[in-house]
A and B are shown apart, each in its own frame.
Chain A
Amino acid sequence: MSVQILEEIFKCISEGDRQLVKGKVQAALDAGLSPERILQEGMISAMAEVGRLFEAGEYFVPEMLIAASSMQEGLQILRPHLAETGIKPIGSVVIGTVKGDLHDIGKNLVAMMLEGAGLNVVDLGVDVPPEKFVDAIRLDQGDVVAMSALLTTTMANMKTAIEALKQAGLREKVKVIVGGAPVTDSFARKIGADGYAEDASRAVRLVESMIC
């Protein structure tokens, strides 16, 4: 029974069945499965599979979005139980779209995928000035800063934010990753970022490689 219900949760999330997933998570809890096991074996593993399928070209953004949304539905049921058992996220990411840029679809998808991988996400929103990233790191809110830009006109503000972290003496404390349609790996290196990811799935793997 326990393996079967975990498989059903895995299927609901990886195939994006948003309606069923809550009931399945509740059923798993009712059956006495530990919240941590449900999270790891039923949910996080499903999101890892979604990432794999995306990178293999079998899944596209809609499939990834609906899977991430299903994960969020399941987490609504699971979260109070996780809090009770004192399970901590594996790390924390401060994420935002840089100053002057109001685009948020890509940033939101990365945030959802990071949460789906068991990370805590502090989403600063869009049009985020450098000092807001600095404040979040000063308050110990993240192991990683993830910045997004969709415009060539706002890419330079990623560099400004990195400089602000340096000036505040916080640069060594965090890893910085960047992404967005016009951003490239060479641009990331040029501005002194620690990493670049071309899509949400690769962003998850990049963050995991930095904090694990």
Chain B
Amino acid sequence: MQSETQCLYEQRLTRYVTALYNGKPDRIPLRVFAEEFAAKYCGYTNYEVAVNHELQFDANRQFAAQTGIDAVQTNSVVNWFGMQKAIGWDGITFPGIGLSVDDVNQWSEPTTEEEAFLKATEYDEFIDDPTAFLVTKWFSRFTRHINPPGGLVTFEHNISFINGLMAYNKFFSTWGAKTGELIEAGVVPAVGSVLKAPLDLMGDKLRGYVNLCFDLHERREQVIKACEGLMPHLLNLVLGGADPDGNIPSIIWMHRGSVPFISQRDFKEIYWATLKPILEELWSHGHQIIFYAEGNWDHHLESFAELPEKSIIFHCDKTDIFKAHKILGEKFCISGGIPNELLSMGTVKEVQQRCKEVIDAVAQDGGYIMDASALIMNDAKIENVKAMIDFTLDYGTYSQAGISSSSLEDMKNIAKPAPSGLKYPEQKRKPGVCIPWEEKRNELPGFEGDERLARKVWEEVDGMGYGYCWVNLTW
């Protein structure tokens, strides 16, 4: 017999997935991305959750369970001092360590050619073998302690790799256990694996946005080839971590592809041209993805409408949610649209009014998930976030029962068009591989037993190393 929380979990999962597939559940699902707000809600400082990774999970679970929302990110702030500073990431600053305990963690990126993690003259090398470039060049620039090949192999160098990897394993083993605790509490983990657009990654973690802007004019063809070269690796990562049941969507954090960060031409010829094929492949494997569209994407809604029906969930930050609903609502679920400024500086009445406007205009036929426009930080007033939740629990109920789980399976089981395929320059190393078995095999003595057993283990371990390298880049 199912426990009360098991029943609650099933009910919430069905509600969430029904809306994700643009259907009409019994009530508008609440999927609230509470970042530092979850810490505030539970009485922790931002510093405490930055250094204590277990609190990051516990805060979100407590927040979700106490407020009655349906789905939440398993982890609230995702960045953990222990993991990122062990290997020496300089690009992130944590609250309480160089900032006040109640500031939020913040990323910085290269702004000059000297600071770039990929130099302008290294494009061809990167395009030829991106994984080797990460290991031989990128790590030594992105992290404080790692030395490049040919440099001194110091105590600090070796211990940084060891500690970094140990902390990474600790973080993700905690992730698995805490996901179980979340489900036991009756709350749905809202998202699965993570994707970034190739051009976003070029800006954030390789060239820096400013250098990339110059490159778009001065070495455009190389930028295009580099983005194409990233495609199979990013697909490999997002597919590898996607929910095998096809319930929980993956997520893409999109930020610099919108106006005015790049031109319409750059969007069409580079950003979208190298992102769309990944999304089509992902969908052909049965996985949806949340477009967490940071900023204003009004200019590109027609492009998103080209994607297969139900393949994405479009999240509105500064995008006009009413326009998004008009252009995308027939094909896709929409989420968000409650401005963070309102949650921070508005009144309960103003929050309720905005929720009503959005629900009335966007959610009448289902296919809408309530959430703030952006990740909620600790400036949001607790009464305002609760007003968003309580109003939706009350006003967001449809006059019908939810659908059954068998109907839900039917809803998910729709024809998926064949993807157009990824086209990218030939690379020395295949996606998913650092050292291929053929190479490893050559350094070993002859096999007495079944070589296939050893090969399987080698490829699994090598794949984990590959994953670690690439997750460092895509984090």
Say yes or no: B262 contacts A152, CB within 8 Å.
no
Q: How far is the CA of A131 from the CA of B218 in the complex (A)?
A: 41
> A187 contacts which chain B residues (CB < 8 A)?
341, 345
Q: How far is the CA of A69 from the CA of B100 in the complex (A)?
A: 34
Say yes or no for B111: interface residue by CB 8 A criterion.
yes
User: At the interface, is chain A mostly helix, strand, loop or mixed?
Assistant: loop
CB < 8 Å: which of B36, B104, B266, B344 contacts A62?
A: B266
The proximity string for A residues 1-45 relative to B, scoring 1 for CB distances below 8 Å and 0 otherwise, is: 000000000000000101000000000000000000000000000
Report the nearest A residue to B264, measured CB to CB.
A60
> A82 contacts which chain B residues (CB < 8 A)?
none
**What's the tally of chain B residues with a CB closer than 8 Å to chain A?**
33
> A160 contacts which chain B residues (CB < 8 A)?
none
Say yes or no: A61 contacts B340, CB within 8 Å.
no
Q: How far is the CA of A18 from the CA of B120 in the complex (A)?
A: 15
Interface set, chain B 377-398, CB cutoff 8 A to A: 377-380
Say yes or no: B262 contacts A61, CB within 8 Å.
yes
Known contacts A60-B261, A108-B111, A199-B260: A153-B104 contact under CB 8 Å: yes
Say yes or no: A151 contacts B104, CB within 8 Å.
yes
Say yes or no: B379 contacts A152, CB within 8 Å.
yes
Say yes or no for A171: interface residue by CB 8 A criterion.
no
**What's the tally of chain A residues with a CB closer than 8 Å to chain B?**
31
Q: How far is the CA of A103 from the CA of B210 in the complex (A)?
A: 13
Say yes or no for A164: interface residue by CB 8 A criterion.
no
Say yes or no for B97: interface residue by CB 8 A criterion.
no
Q: How far is the CA of A102 from the CA of B106 in the complex (A)?
A: 7
Known contacts A60-B262, A62-B262, A153-B377: A103-B341 contact under CB 8 Å: no
Say yes or no for B263: interface residue by CB 8 A criterion.
yes
Report the nearest A residue to B380, measured CB to CB.
A152
Q: How far is the CA of A151 from the CA of B262 in the complex (A)?
A: 21
Interface set, chain B 87-111, CB cutoff 8 A to A: 93, 99-100, 102-104, 106, 108, 111
Say yes or no for A104: interface residue by CB 8 A criterion.
yes
Say yes or no: A153 contacts B103, CB within 8 Å.
yes
Say yes or no for B186: interface residue by CB 8 A criterion.
no
Most chain A Cβ neighbours within 10 Å, of B36, B100, B108: B108
> B216 contacts which chain A residues (CB < 8 A)?
62
Query: How far does the Cβ of A93 sit from chain B's closest Cβ, in whole Å?
Result: 20
The proximity string for A residues 91-113 relative to B, scoring 1 for CB distances below 8 Å and 0 otherwise, is: 00000000011111100100000
CB < 8 Å: which of B104, B106, B213, B341 contacts A66?
A: B213
Q: How far is the CA of A69 from the CA of B261 in the complex (A)?
A: 16
Q: How far is the CA of A18 from the CA of B217 in the complex (A)?
A: 10
CB < 8 Å: which of B103, B209, B261, B263 contacts A100?
A: B103
Interface set, chain A 37-65, CB cutoff 8 A to B: 54, 57, 59-63, 65
Report the nearest A residue to B261, measured CB to CB.
A61
Known contacts A100-B100, A100-B103, A151-B377: A65-B341 contact under CB 8 Å: no
Query: How far does the Cβ of B214 sit from chain A's closest Cβ, in whole Å?
Result: 6
> B261 contacts which chain A residues (CB < 8 A)?
60-62
Q: How far is the CA of A102 from the CA of B98 in the complex (A)?
A: 11
Known contacts A152-B344, A153-B379: A69-B260 contact under CB 8 Å: no
Say yes or no: A104 contacts B111, CB within 8 Å.
yes
> B341 contacts which chain A residues (CB < 8 A)?
152, 182, 184, 187
> A105 contacts which chain B residues (CB < 8 A)?
111, 209-210
Query: How far does the Cβ of B137 sit from chain A's closest Cβ, in whole Å?
Result: 24
Report the nearest A residue to B299, measured CB to CB.
A57
Say yes or no: B99 contacts A100, CB within 8 Å.
yes
Q: How far is the CA of A150 from the CA of B19 in the complex (A)?
A: 32
Query: How far does the Cβ of B464 sit from chain A's closest Cβ, in whole Å?
Result: 33
> A184 contacts which chain B residues (CB < 8 A)?
341
Q: How far is the CA of A62 from the CA of B263 in the complex (A)?
A: 8
Q: How far is the CA of A127 from the CA of B93 in the complex (A)?
A: 12
Known contacts A61-B261, A61-B262, A66-B213: A181-B295 contact under CB 8 Å: yes
Report the nearest A residue to B340, measured CB to CB.
A152
Say yes or no: A66 contacts B217, CB within 8 Å.
yes
CB < 8 Å: which of A69, A108, A199 contacts B214?
A: A69
- A sample of 6 inter-chain contacts (CB < 8 A) reads A60-B259, A62-B266, A100-B99, A100-B103, A102-B108, A153-B377
Closest CB pairs A-B (n = 6) = A62-B213, A60-B263, A153-B379, A100-B103, A65-B213, A102-B106
* A contact set with B: CB distance below 8 Å: 16, 18, 54, 57, 59-63, 65-66, 69, 100-105, 108, 127, 151-156, 181-182, 184, 187, 199
- For the complex with contacts A62-B261, A66-B214, A187-B341, 9 further pairs of A-B residues with Cβ separation under 8 Å are A18-B218, A60-B260, A61-B262, A62-B214, A65-B213, A151-B377, A152-B340, A154-B103, A199-B260
